[in-house]
Amino acid sequence: MSNPGGVRRWLVSLAVCAGVLTGCETSTDAGEDPAPATPSATPSATPSATPSPQASSPGPPTRDETASPSPVPRADRAPAVPARFRRDRAMATIRWLAGEVGPREGSSAAFRRAARRVARRFSGLGYDVRRQSFAVPEGNSWGVPVPAGRSTNVIATPEGFRSGRPHLLVGAHLDTVPQAPGAEDNASGVAVLLELARLAASDGTRLPVVFVAFGAEEPRGDGDALHHFGSTAYVNRMSPRERRGLQAMVSLDRVGVGTVVPVCTGGLSPLRVRAMLVRGAGEIDVPVSTCSDNASSDHWSFEKAGEPVARIGSTPYAGYHSAQDVPAVVNPAQLGRVGRVMWDWMTR
């Protein structure tokens, strides 16, 4: 109701796909490498979308911030046939992260490999990408000793982004506990994050969106100070102006299990982000559950700093933080539900 344009885009998308994403699945995921080989704009990143002007010319060299005060892709740039969330692409990302890279504790070489690849994915979609390095202490992560070291946030911003202007932030942690390949926790969140970034680069969003793959979310000991290191570093380095610009933060963490989408806060945030997500989900017939006692993901770092947040995901599952957290535990249909809810929210 509040966004006829966004609803219309979805209706067009659904009509094109002949039903709630089911008809959108293609056979392109078999053996597909989800990452482009080079940082240049890649046709394979948007095979289903009619290229938009900024998707086809993502390079930053000609950027003129003075002449481009509104960097966000605008609705009037939206292609006639909108891009759509691709569950097969999301699953390919999960198979790569959990099947090929495997366990990726936040200070490990495997994590750095994953971070490089995610950075290339963002670059290939036309985003400006920067890395934010931070220290992590030695400790014990879910029963396994971990050394002191450094981890990294991978941050993607749209061309011409100005952090003091109103914007949204969507994040997902890229690391795992040492013993888990982390298909659901949290390759699922990263996979949806990358798909949303692809859609945003193609079709545009209501506000500019910053996409962050956070490092070192997983615990290195007990207590609030020994987890969520990446999001804590991000929040601590935000300027007052940037904080004023941030309108909402959503953490995607464990988003591929179950049939109902959990939408939560930690109990400090105003409920407007959660309410908007829930309302939008209702309008596109995605079942949700809500809670206000979930402090176990990166949204909590932002929430403690006074930012309006929500966390999507957290349905319990048998393979949690174990070697059994493999791609088979992830339900592609649930990724699609989360993708639709998030895209509706980002464009509403």
The CA-atom distances, in angstroms, between 183 and each of 57, 174, 214, 321 are 33, 10, 16, 10
Query: Rule CB under 5 A: is residue 46 a binding residue for Zn ion?
Result: no
Count of residues near Zn ion by CB under 5 A: 3
Question: Which value, in Å, is the radius of gyration of the alpha carbons in the chain?
Answer: 18
Minimum gap (Å) between residue 286 Cβ and Zn ion: 21
Minimum gap (Å) between residue 299 Cβ and Zn ion: 11
Query: Judged by CB under 5 A, which of 159, 253, 303, 307 binds Zn ion?
Result: 253
Alpha helices in 95-151 (DSSP H): 109-124
Minimum gap (Å) between residue 106 Cβ and Zn ion: 12
- At residue 154, what are phi and psi to the nearest 5 degrees? -105, 120
Residues 181-200 binding Zn ion (CB under 5 A) are: 185-186
For Zn ion, the closer CB: 139 or 166: 139
Place of tokens 């174990």: 322
User: Which residues, at least 6 apart from 172, have a Cβ–Cβ distance to it below 8 Å?
Assistant: 186, 189, 190, 192, 193, 212, 213, 214, 251, 252, 253
Rounded CA-CA distance 107/144 in Å is 14
User: CB under 5 A: which stretch of 86-94, 123-131, 154-162, 250-258 binds Zn ion?
Assistant: 250-258
For Zn ion, the closer CB: 141 or 202: 141
3-class state of residue 149 by DSSP? strand
User: Which residues, at least 6 apart from 279, have a Cβ–Cβ distance to it below 8 Å?
Assistant: none
User: CB under 5 A: which stretch of 58-66, 106-114, 122-130, 248-256 binds Zn ion?
Assistant: 248-256
Q: Which amino acid is at 272?
A: R
Rounded CA-CA distance 30/28 in Å is 6
User: Which residues, at least 6 apart from 289, have a Cβ–Cβ distance to it below 8 Å?
Assistant: 260, 261, 262, 263
Let me know the angle formed at the C-alpha of 315 by 314 and 319, rounded to the nearest 5 degrees: 100
Minimum gap (Å) between residue 126 Cβ and Zn ion: 28
For Zn ion, the closer CB: 158 or 256: 256
Residues 17-36 binding Zn ion (CB under 5 A) are: none
Minimum gap (Å) between residue 78 Cβ and Zn ion: 33
For Zn ion, the closer CB: 126 or 230: 230
Minimum gap (Å) between residue 228 Cβ and Zn ion: 10
**Binding characters for Zn ion, 132-171, by CB under 5 A (x = yes):** ----------------------------------------
Q: Which two tokens stand for residue 315?
A: 């349905």
Minimum gap (Å) between residue 173 Cβ and Zn ion: 6
Nearest residue to 177 via CA among 137, 217, 150? 217
3-class state of residue 3 by DSSP? coil
User: CB under 5 A: which stretch of 164-172, 190-198, 251-259, 277-285 binds Zn ion?
Assistant: 251-259
For Zn ion, the closer CB: 230 or 245: 230
**Binding characters for Zn ion, 200-239, by CB under 5 A (x = yes):** ----------------------------------------
For Zn ion, the closer CB: 29 or 253: 253
For Zn ion, the closer CB: 99 or 270: 99
Minimum gap (Å) between residue 21 Cβ and Zn ion: 24
For Zn ion, the closer CB: 36 or 339: 339
User: Which residues, at least 6 apart from 32, have a Cβ–Cβ distance to it below 8 Å?
Assistant: 88, 89, 92
H or E element that contains 144? strand 144-146
For Zn ion, the closer CB: 105 or 253: 253
Q: Which residues bind Zn ion (CB under 5 A)?
A: 185-186, 253
